[in-house]
Amino acid sequence: MSNKLYTYGIVEQEGLELDVEGVGGAESIYTVDYRALSAVVSDIDTTDPERTDDAVEAHNDVLQRVLEYDGGRTIVPMSFGMAFKNGRTLKGVLRGAQRALRSTLNDIDSTVELGVKVIDSGEDETAEEIAQAGMTDRLSEASINETENDLFSDRLIVNKSYLVDREHRDEFDAAIDTIRSAHDDVTVQYTGPWPPYNFVDIHIGTDQQRGGR
Amino acid sequence: MAQPDSSSLAEVLDRVLDKGVVVDAYARISLVGIEILTVEARVVVASVDTFLHYAEEIAKIEQAELTAGAEAAPTPEA
């Protein structure tokens, strides 16, 4: 019998059980505890799940479900594919990384990530100048932190992720409206709420593997 | 008011594949001793972008636990 566990993210210790489609055909998710931490997991039959679009969406759907569950939860998201051999190996890693995980949970407490892309949809050359003249100032004011992502196209004039306190979601939404109404020649792609992917950076390895790098 | 959209596959892929906590395969399939686990966390929320290495401190904690009790974590040979 397989007792492998696919992990989606880490929350403050809490028993959660939800019926939601998971990675690898799972029909429900639950939590595995280590002290003050709980890993959100589902059963899976492999430690190397296939990286299909459906699987990636299932991973994200579970995280968004937990993120918005019953008034909202703070969750440290795992990258795709973090399946463990069993509960013992998972708990071993939670134990080894508990300081970093707890400190991260504390840093992102009560927050979600929101994505903003502004695309120049007109012929007007001044769009970029407008963007640089403080279009996103109100977004910065309504958020705790932000990261600048790659401007992979000339038409993309803003590509940022914002860390926003749940209590300031309305302010942030309103700031998006302001940008949309003030600038006819741009398209604003507003996405989320995401678990704070761009504000979590934790890598857990072993000395054995570090030696080989 | 504007509401964010969570359905864009490109946005999902960007995040789920490239970001989030990564645990190396060896640590996911082997019951490794805490003393060889390495934890690196970049603190993105703090105003100063600090790269922290937790490994040394974890080693200290482990040392204290070993001294205090008789915990024998298996240590795979490097």
Q: What is the pLDDT of residue A132?
A: 58
Beta carbons of A77 and B20 less than 8 Å apart: yes
Size of interface A-B (CB pairs under 8 A): 198
- Which segments of chain A have a pLDDT < 50? 209-213
In angstroms, the separation between the Cα of residue B31 and the nearest Cα of chain A is 5
Give the whole-angstrom CA distance, residue A60 versus residue A77.
Answer: 9
The DSSP result for B33-72, as a single string, is: -GGGEEEEEEE-SSSS-EEEE-HHHHHHHHHHHHHHS---
Pull the structure tokens for residue A70: 């019953």
Could you tell me if A83 lies within 8 Å of chain B, comparing CB atoms? yes
B31 → closest Cβ in A47, A83, A88 = A88
Sequence-distant (6+) residues with CB within 8 A of B13 are A53, A56
| Residue A127 confidence (pLDDT) | 55
Mean pLDDT, chain B, whole residue set: 72
Alpha helices in A6-79 (DSSP H): 53-67
Residues of A in contact with B76 (CB under 8 A): 208
- A46 phi, psi to nearest 5 deg: -145, 155
Neighbouring residues of A29: CB distance < 8 A, sequence distance ≥ 6: A8, A16, A17, A18, A20, A22, A40, A41, A42, A62, A66
Average pLDDT, stretch B17-31?
A: 93
Q: How far is CA B67 from CA A169, B36, B55, B71, B77, in A?
A: 49, 17, 18, 9, 22
pLDDT band at residue B73, thresholds of 50, 70 and 90? Answer: very low
pLDDT band for B33, please (50, 70, 90 cuts).
confident
Overall pTM > 0.90: no
pLDDT in tens, B44-69: 655 444 444 554 555 555 666 666 65
In the prediction, which pLDDT does B51 show?
Answer: 47
The four Cα atoms A99, A166, A200, B6 give a dihedral, to 10 degrees, of: 140
pLDDT band at B70 (very low <50, low <70, confident <90, very high): very low
| Per-residue model confidence (pLDDT) at position A125 | 57
Statement: residue B77 has pLDDT above 90: no
Q: Which fold has domain A111-198?
A: Alpha-Beta Plaits (3.30.70)
Tell me what ipTM this predicted complex has.
Answer: 0.90
**B6–chain A Cβ distance below 8 A for any pair:** yes
- B59 contact A CB<8A: no
Residue A57 with chain B: CB contacts under 8 Å: 9, 12
> Looking at residue B49, what is its pLDDT?
43
Tokens 């403050």 identify what position?
A12
Task: Supply the pLDDT for residue A17.
Answer: 97
Contacts of A146 (CB under 8 A, 6+ apart): A139, A140, A160, A161, A162, A163
Q: Where are the domains of chain A?
A: 4-108, 111-198
Q: How far apart are CA A194 and CA B21, in angstroms?
A: 15
Nearest to A201 among B2, B26, B42 (CB): B42
Instruction: State residue A170's pLDDT score.
Output: 96
Q: Look at B39 and A198 and tell me if their CB atoms are within 8 Å.
A: no
| Closest Cα in chain A, distance from residue B57 (Å) | 10
| B45 interaction partners in chain A (CB closer than 8 Å) | 107-108, 144-145, 163, 199
Omega within 30 of 0 (cis) for the link into A193 = yes
Q: Using the structure block, give the residue that is written with the tokens 């909202």.
A: A72
In angstroms, rounded to a whole number, what is the distance separating the alpha carbons of residues A139 and A137? 5
Crossing angle of the two packed helices A98-107 and A87-96, in degrees rounded to 10: 70
pLDDT beyond 90 at B75: no
> Cβ B30–A89 below 8 Å, yes or no?
yes
